[in-house]
Chains A and B, each alone.
Chain A
Amino acid sequence: MLLLAGGAVQAQFRVEVSGIGMTQVPIAVAPFRGDDAAPQKIAAIVQADLERSGQFRSIDTAGPTLDETSRPDFSAWRQRTADALATGSVTRLADGRFDVRFRLWDTARGQDLGGQSYAVVAGDLRQAAHRIADFIYEKLTGDKGAFSTRIAYVTKAGQRYSLWVADADGESAQSALSSPEPIISPAWSPNGAQLAYVSFESRKPVIYAHDVASGKRRLLANFRGSNSAPAWAPDGRTLVVTLSRDGGSQLYTMDANGGEPRRLTQSVGIDTEPAFAPDGRSLYFVSDRGGSPQIYRMPPGGGNAERVTFSGTYNISPSLSPDGRWLAYVSRIGGAFKLHVMELATGTATAITDTTSDESPSFSPNSRLIIYATQVQGREALMTSTLDGRIKARLAGQGGDIREPDWAPFQKP
């Protein structure tokens, strides 16, 4: 039932390209031999992954069927302006699994760039396609691909709230939690095994930590008042949370196994939305101590806070790129809430969307894409964008409103 969306939906998202002058690798991903008979169209998934990354431009592949054993006509592909060609096959095995194979060619140099094969059950065909896209991405850009990683998000359908774990393209979603009350602020633990989140199931916001594989969850913070905004430290041993147990909303650090929180901030106003720098050496957060909500940073154990955003009167939801170079946040400009990206080395910030209700940015683990929530045609939707805002894609997913995305880290091999 839950996998139905993943199985039935084929590349529903649309990739929008704006702006020119991008360096994109022209690649032809030929339909895999056997794609027609397989439950998933492998080549289409690979192609969509590559396009969504902003690093690739798709070349038409019309012509005779190719697979990983074919010796391509390099000059013909060069004429079609393809610098690279991926070919492959998907074959049903005697035990019902599928054998997926592919090969990547450098058509400009006439070189075999390697290939892989996977034997998978039908439900893992999309995951195999994402692995292929990762291989191609890494071979051709030198950066690690993040297509086979996972995201978490929340849907609201009628009066039902659900927390989902899905592939990075929003497909193959599996329900981790379903509740009649709101769920917000999911945050992956650094090892990708647990989600911390805020649930209102007991008529107030409390923080849970949830092992997604087993479904075991534990109350992490249920103190008097509101408990919210969980942020894992990079070592996974502690979290910083927002508690109102002493009056206003303030930041506290606590052990990941629970226990007594220690207060980190002492302001008279709001301190919330903590976000660790990937090296763990600073903690970003939102505070209205200066009269309007702005982003600050301080040592993770508390101490002097330094203001980071200066433009505008409403800057919230900080998120740091895993490579430590970028800060994504939401800024209110003339009544519109717009996703911004700041290069931390220079402090230069740019609005990267045309939408007006952007929320909850989160970086891909390779720091090349940002996933965020926004409103498209009156519905809540998830989008990905390159850091320069030029390539955006709306993610497919469950029906109803989709919100609160968090991109999981790379899984340790």
Chain B
Amino acid sequence: MNRYLLTLALTAVLAGCGTSVKLDDVAVEDRSGKPVAGQAGAAGATGAGATAAGAAGGSAVTNTAIAPVTIGAADAAAPPPAGPRIVLFDYDSFTIKTEYQPVIEAQARYLKADPRRRASVEGHTDERGGREYNLALGQKRAEAVRRALGLLGVADAQVEAVSFGKEKPAVQGSDEAALARNRRAEIAYR
């Protein structure tokens, strides 16, 4: 009964403080014979702190649990058509250079041969700069290739332009050769 009253008293104190202390965490028994913060007050300190320490005794400090989620590897992509499917770009550029026109034409022919075929144009950037801005830059490259395919008669519904920004470099490294190979758009088939 005494313990129950003590719990009630603590409840009142805690409610008065307006804290979010969980009462079921107050382990009254555990503290018997344990050091009590209030002793400092007895040693001559002003009392306010001792009261605070007592009132907050057993405050619930919990790291909210985090439930982990794991994603498995995606299914392997279907075999793509033969021929190059990569268009490289100059720094800060979204212009398809004439040397890549044959790549665009070959892929356009493949897509037009079967209107059920679906392609994803994946834009990429080099590693310099912010992730989100690079995502938008890669999108510009992907859109340029999508438009070029459209000009050659590929139906809009067949091609989706997406961006990986700088997240999926073709090659590792920070030299100009590596950067140049990473500024690209890849035509992928599902």
Report A's interface with B, CB cutoff 8 A: 2, 67-71, 89, 91, 93-95, 97, 99, 101, 103-104, 111-120, 123-124, 127-128, 131, 165, 167, 172, 174-182, 184-185, 198-205, 210, 212-215, 217, 224-226, 228-229, 242, 244, 247-249, 270, 272-273, 286, 293, 314, 316-317, 330, 332, 337, 359-360, 403-404, 413
B130 interface residue per 8 A CB criterion = yes
Contact of B40 with A270 in the complex, beta carbons under 8 Å? no
- Give every chain A residue within 8 A of B61 (Cβ-Cβ): 118, 120, 124, 127-128, 131
- Write the chain A residue with the least CB distance to B47: A112
Contact of B74 with A180 in the complex, beta carbons under 8 Å? yes
A133 to chain B, nearest CB (A): 12
A174 to B128 CA separation, bound complex (whole angstroms): 30
B36 to chain A, nearest CB (A): 8
Contact of B35 with A118 in the complex, beta carbons under 8 Å? no
Q: Give the contacting residue for A124; candidates B31, B41, B46, B63; CB below 8 A.
A: B63
A95 to B25 CA separation, bound complex (whole angstroms): 12
Contact of A272 with B52 in the complex, beta carbons under 8 Å? no
Q: What are the interface flags for B41-58 relative to A under an 8 Å C-beta threshold, 1 for contact and 0 otherwise?
A: 101111011101100111
Contact of A205 with B27 in the complex, beta carbons under 8 Å? no
Which among A131, A210, A244, A403 has the highest number of chain B CB atoms within 10 Å?
A244
Contact of B167 with A314 in the complex, beta carbons under 8 Å? no
Contact of A119 with B71 in the complex, beta carbons under 8 Å? no
A-B contacts, 22 of them at CB < 8 A, read A93-B27, A112-B40, A113-B49, A115-B52, A117-B53, A118-B59, A131-B59, A177-B68, A179-B70, A182-B167, A184-B167, A203-B188, A212-B67, A213-B64, A225-B161, A226-B135, A244-B161, A248-B143, A249-B140, A273-B132, A314-B129, A337-B128
A66 to chain B, nearest CB (A): 10
Contact of A200 with B136 in the complex, beta carbons under 8 Å? no
B2 interface residue per 8 A CB criterion = no
A190 to chain B, nearest CB (A): 16
A174 to B64 CA separation, bound complex (whole angstroms): 10
Contact of B67 with A215 in the complex, beta carbons under 8 Å? yes
- Give every chain A residue within 8 A of B167 (Cβ-Cβ): 182, 184, 200
B98 interface residue per 8 A CB criterion = no
Given contacts A118-B61, A123-B63, A203-B74, contact A89 B35 (CB under 8 A): yes
Contact of A177 with B71 in the complex, beta carbons under 8 Å? yes
Q: Give the contacting residue for B37; candidates A2, A115, A184; CB below 8 A.
A: A115
B66 to chain A, nearest CB (A): 4
- Give every chain A residue within 8 A of B68 (Cβ-Cβ): 2, 174-178, 215
B177 interface residue per 8 A CB criterion = no
Beta-carbon contacts under 8 Å, B77-128 to A? 120, 122, 128
- Give every chain A residue within 8 A of B50 (Cβ-Cβ): 112, 115
Contact of B160 with A225 in the complex, beta carbons under 8 Å? yes
Contact of A114 with B44 in the complex, beta carbons under 8 Å? no
- Give every chain B residue within 8 A of A68 (Cβ-Cβ): 35, 37, 40, 53
- Write the chain A residue with the least CB distance to B77: A203
B175 to chain A, nearest CB (A): 14
- Give every chain A residue within 8 A of B139 (Cβ-Cβ): 225-226, 244, 248-249, 270
Given contacts A127-B63, A215-B68, A273-B132, contact A204 B162 (CB under 8 A): yes
A165 to chain B, nearest CB (A): 5
A182 to B71 CA separation, bound complex (whole angstroms): 11
Contact of B135 with A67 in the complex, beta carbons under 8 Å? no
- Give every chain B residue within 8 A of A185 (Cβ-Cβ): 131-132
B69 interface residue per 8 A CB criterion = yes
Contact of B41 with A112 in the complex, beta carbons under 8 Å? yes
- Give every chain B residue within 8 A of A114 (Cβ-Cβ): 48-49, 52-53
